[in-house]
Amino acid sequence: MSIIYNPQQYKLADKPMESFIDADEIHEIIGSHLNPSMEQVEAVIAKSLNKNRLSLQETAILVNANEPEMVDAIKTAAKQLKEQVYGKRIVLFAPLYVGNLCINDCTYCGFRSSNKKQERLTLGKQDIIDQVVALEDTGHKRLILVYGEHPRYDAQFIADTVKIVYDVKHENGEIRRVNINAAPLDVEGYKIVKEAGIGTYQIFQETYHKPTYEKVHIKGTKKHFDWRLTGLDRAQEGGIDDVGIGALFGLYDWRFEVVGLLRHVNHFEAVYNVGPHTISFPRIQSASGFEVDKKYEVSDADFTKLVAILRLAVPYTGLILTAREPGYIRDEILQYGVSQIDGGTNIEMKGYTSHKEQQDLDHEQFEICDDRSLNEVMEELVEDGYIPSFCTACYRLNRTGEHFMEFSVPGFIKRFCQPNAILTLAEYLEDYAPASTKEKGYQLIEDSLKDYEDERFKGKLIERLGKIKDGERDLYF
Ligand code: SAM
Ligand code: SF4
């Protein structure tokens, strides 16, 4: 079977959109690149280090590279790419669960409709305000709002809740970017949500393997593979060009999902001339009412490898890692080019104000493994030399596709992203950090300033840092 990436092939009018994922094709590509040689692996790596997106066949070589020295080479290259392209910034965000009513029955999710143990709740206006104030009090500036799938959570509801979040401004902070993780909408629905000023609209396909998909999505709208697969195409039609894709690792063979994700990326490039803004790779966690076969469980070794492969395969997208993963996995894969993580995460409904000591699976979607506070995460990042960033400048200046700009515009990171990360870090240190974090944070800022040889630019940055110390906020390049 030949694979030709002819953009015309995927135009809405020409062909049903859903046909771009072909399980036989993906199996065939993976199966025809078994046992690659070290030379083949090195050639693919070299292509990626030259900042080229890999083909499906090249990615298949990497997913089949099992020898320890091959895996080492893949991980080392991912680190190199991350350092060359993205530098030391890590963007921080927090998820906020708005409602856990759900008509679907996804066998892996605590919110599934057949799980009668789950307490159902939809945040009202005041509840949202309370959660947002609590998040702002810790220093967050970027949120992702998460919703079950339910007629009550229609486009207007999503848009209204986004507006409530943006309107919460109190003396101790503000949310500057709201992303969405919700069910796929129709084109009209996306237009309404776009109007509310969202950042990225994320929809994870969960698995690109249709037979598995149909097995784990028992009922509700979500059981329709094609409706979900084309969800972000409708978003594009509705004017949302900032989209995030993902797969839930552990439902089917991880190699298939990696190639499936890449095929989805190709589709966006072919049809819209721009790939997705972000890729997420949640690994399945235990949940209330959980009924998933462990057959495809992804080991830590495979998980860390697959993240390095994704970095190499699509060097220009943002990679999002969440608190589903324990600290030691986070620490390793941050080095392979993860660009965004959540911090101080609580996925329980009203969790940011409930202050419970222990997780309770009947109140949340699934178990999380990293329950450190935002400040603990910040301090650790700083100690490891990363610059935690709350920057939202690209989005607010209409420089869409922030990660793409970073990747494709030479010098962009040094001129915009790094200084903006430094400025948002300084805001955090002034407004929220305890003394020990503040000291370490300012030391990191001072060290980072040494990277700037251009004295004029460095002068401007130092001037803005001074203004932040004097109480000005929200300064960016
Ligand atoms: N209800 C919407 C949907 O299904 O697309 C959006 C929100 S859903 C709560 C967000 C994502 O959580 C899902 O796309 C799925 O990948 C992930 N998820 C669900 N159950 C999970 C589990 N047990 N472990 C890890 N991630 C899970
Ligand atoms: Fe509902 Fe989403 Fe959970 Fe499925 S993953 S049961 S759609 S909340």
Domain residue ranges of the chain, discontinuous segments joined by +: 18-83, 85-398, 408-469
Percent residues over pLDDT 90 in the chain = 72
pLDDT the model gives residue 208: 98
Pair 261, 208: CB distance under 8 Å: yes
Nearest CA to ligand 1 atom 16: 248
What CATH code is assigned to 85-398? 3.20.20.70
Nearest CA to ligand 1 atom 10: 181
Residue 155 has pLDDT above 90, yes or no: yes
Span 287-346, pLDDT tens digits = 887 888 899 999 999 999 999 999 999 988 889 998 778 889 999 999 998 999 998 888
Q: Which of 208, 248, 369 to mutate to test the pocket of ligand 1 (most atoms within 8 A of CB)?
A: 248
CB of residue 95 inside a 6 A radius of ligand 1: no
Average pLDDT in the chain:
90
Which tokens belong to 380? 């650790």
Mean pLDDT of 18-41: 93
DSSP string over 267-315? HHHHHHSS--SEEE-PBP---TT----GGGPPPHHHHHHHHHHHHHHST
364 pLDDT more than 70: no
Pairwise pLDDT comparison (466 vs 398), residue with the higher score: 466
Distance 450 CA to ligand 2 centre (A): 47
Give the position of tokens 């993240």: 307
Closest ligand to Cα 291 = 1
Least confident of 177-181, 211-215, 416-420: 416-420
Q: How confident is the model at residue 406 (pLDDT cuts 50, 70, 90)?
A: low
User: What is the number of the ligand 1 atom nearest to the C-alpha of 286?
Assistant: 23
221 neighbors 104 (Cβ within 8 angstroms): yes
Report how far residue 348's alpha carbon sits from residue 368's, in angstroms, rounded to the nearest whole number: 10
Question: Confidence band (pLDDT; 50, 70, 90) for 286?
Answer: confident
pLDDT at 273: 81
The 10s digit of each residue's pLDDT in 226-267 is 999 999 999 999 999 899 999 999 999 999 999 999 999 988
Q: Are 81 and 48 in contact (CB under 8 A)?
A: yes
Tokens read off for 114: 């057949």
Q: What is the mean pLDDT of residues 133-142?
A: 96
Distance, in Å, from the CA atom of 16 to the CA atom of 275, rounded to the nearest integer, reads 20
Question: What is the per-residue pLDDT for 334?
Answer: 95
**Cα–Cα distance between 336 and 347 in angstroms, integer?**
26
Which ligand gives the minimal distance to the CA of 106?
2
DSSP state of 55: P
Please tell me the distance between residue 19's alpha carbon and the centre of ligand 2 in angstroms.
24
The highest-confidence range among 1-5, 296-300, 452-456, by mean pLDDT, is: 296-300
**CA 222 to ligand 2: nearest atom:** 7
Give the Å distance between the CA of 12 and the centre of ligand 1.
Answer: 28
Which residue's entry shows tokens 């999710």? Answer: 109
Q: How far apart are the first and last CA of the chain?
A: 49
**Residue 469 in this model has a pLDDT that exceeds 70:** yes
What's the pLDDT score for residue 365? 65
CA of 274 to the centre of ligand 1 (A): 25
Give DSSP secondary structure letters for 237-278. HTT---EEEEB-BTSS-HHHHHHHHHHHHHHHHHHHSS--SE
| 386 neighbors 334 (Cβ within 8 angstroms) | yes
H helical segments located in 336-434: 351-354, 374-383, 393-396, 402-408, 412, 418-431
Percent helix, strand, coil in the chain, to 5, is 50, 10, 40
Note the pLDDT of residue 367: 72
Note the pLDDT of residue 401.
Answer: 55
pLDDT at 7 over 50: no
CA angle 143, 146, 152 (to 5 degrees): 130
Helices 300-313 and 254-272: crossing angle, nearest 10°?
20
Highest mean pLDDT among 35-49, 320-334, 392-406: 35-49
Ligand 1 centre to CA of 109 (Å) is 6
What crossing angle do the helices spanning 300-313 and 327-334 adopt, rounded to 10°?
Answer: 30
Ligand 2: list residues with CB < 6 Å.
102, 104, 106, 109, 111-112, 148-149, 222
Helix 68-81 to helix 38-49 angle (10° resolution) is 10
